[in-house]
Structure 1
Amino acid sequence: MKIIGLTGGIGSGKTTVANFFKELGIPVYIADDAGKRLMNSDEQIKQEIKKLIGEKAYSGEVPDRKYIASKVFKDKALLNELNGIIHPAVAKDFDIWLKDQHSPYVIYEAAILFEIGRYDQCDHSVLVVTPKDLRIQRIQERDKSTREEILDRMDNQWSDEKKSELADFIIKNTDLAHTKSQVAHIHAQILKAGKNS
């Protein structure tokens, strides 16, 4: 079974694209959702995060995401350490999930697929790109984040230009109908490549 990595900068529309693949019957694993779930449920992860960021990282049993973000998105070393706690746990969780899938391929969606080198474990990669101003507008509407908070997060992700050099497929996500047709085209190509291999 092939693993197709799906990535894109914050606000690019990865979730929209992932949902279009789901509509085609393709299982989708959202790494960020898995990371949040594990931060809530895994006691070892909780303890390691508290040790790294401090007790304020959790409010009772629930992670204080705003507080954590305020610390890590201004400190790349701290962010790397946090990723070093969460990403190996997500990788194990994905491997367990993958064993239950029965499909020609699956989608592994991760915001920092290239940054952490996870694309090496994928057969192909799909990059979603959207103009920066549109991304900022989407995030402000979705999260009520300030422009400064959004730019801090963007600064910790690679540029679309850098990601484009590694991506096998690029989806330009500005018009939903066009995005959906691009997903259908990539889906057909992956299925065709699978039959020919």
Structure 2
Amino acid sequence: MLRVGITGGIGSGKSTVCLIFETLGVPVYYADEEAKKLISRDEVVKSKIIDLLGEDSYLDGQYNVPFVKKAVFKNSSLLTALNEIVHPAVKKHARLWMEGHSDKPYVLKEAAIMKKGADLDKIIYVSASEEIRLARILERDTERSKEEIKAIMKNQFSPEYFKEISDFIIENENNLLIPQVLAVHQKLLTS
């Protein structure tokens, strides 16, 4: 079984591409969604976050997103420390999830943060220009400001980095996605 990462910047269309793969019967691990579950349910993760950010990081047992965002938004060392708690937990959870799908030719792990050789055999990059990504995010996330979205984009990996680490690139500008996904799917089935 191949372990395939699918990545790209915010608003690039990773989730849409993953849905196409899912219709082809490919299991997809959504790292951000699983991270949220681990942050809310895993007692070890919760304890480490409280040690890092204080008791206000959880209210009535629920992750206090506004508090945490405010705490880490302008403090890169706190953000790094938070990521050092969450990312290893997600990596371990993803590995176990993948082992549970070993009967499949390949599985996908969708994540915005990805590194070459990070327990993955291949990487797919979903590419879109900053202008298109910004427009998509403004349309879907009406509570976010343009400045907040640009700050998120600035903190993510560059398109050059994604291209360098990727084995496949799916262009999600005005290109048709299904033919591109089918082409990558066939290559992965024969790898």
Question: If the length of structure 2 is used for normalisation, what is the TM-score?
Answer: 0.92
Correspondent of 2:137 among 130, 136, 139: 139
RMSD: 1.5
Question: Which letter maps to 1:74?
Answer: K
The aligned counterpart of 1:55 is: 55
Question: If the length of structure 1 is used for normalisation, what is the TM-score?
Answer: 0.89
Whole-angstrom CA distance in 2 between matches of 1:93 and 1:103: 18
Query: % of aligned pairs identical?
Result: 41
Q: Does the Cα contact within 8 Å between 1:73 and 1:153 map onto a contact in 2?
A: no
Note the 1:103-182 alignment, pairs <5 A. Answer: 103-114=104-115, 119-144=117-142, 145-175=144-174, 178-182=176-180
Deviations 1:159-196 (A, max 9, x none): 111221111111111237x1121111000011122xxx
Unaligned runs of 5+ in 2: none
Unaligned runs of 5+ in 1: none
Deviations 1:19-61 (A, max 9, x none): 1110111010011111000011012211211221232222222
Note the 1:49-88 alignment, pairs <5 A. Answer: 49-88=49-88
Provide closer, same or farther for how the CA distance between residues 131 and 104 of structure 1 changes in structure 2, counting only shifts above 3 A.
same
Q: Does 103-112 or 39-48 show the bigger shift?
A: 39-48
3-state DSSP of counterpart to 1:120: coil
State how many pairs are aligned.
189
1:97 aligns with 2:83: no
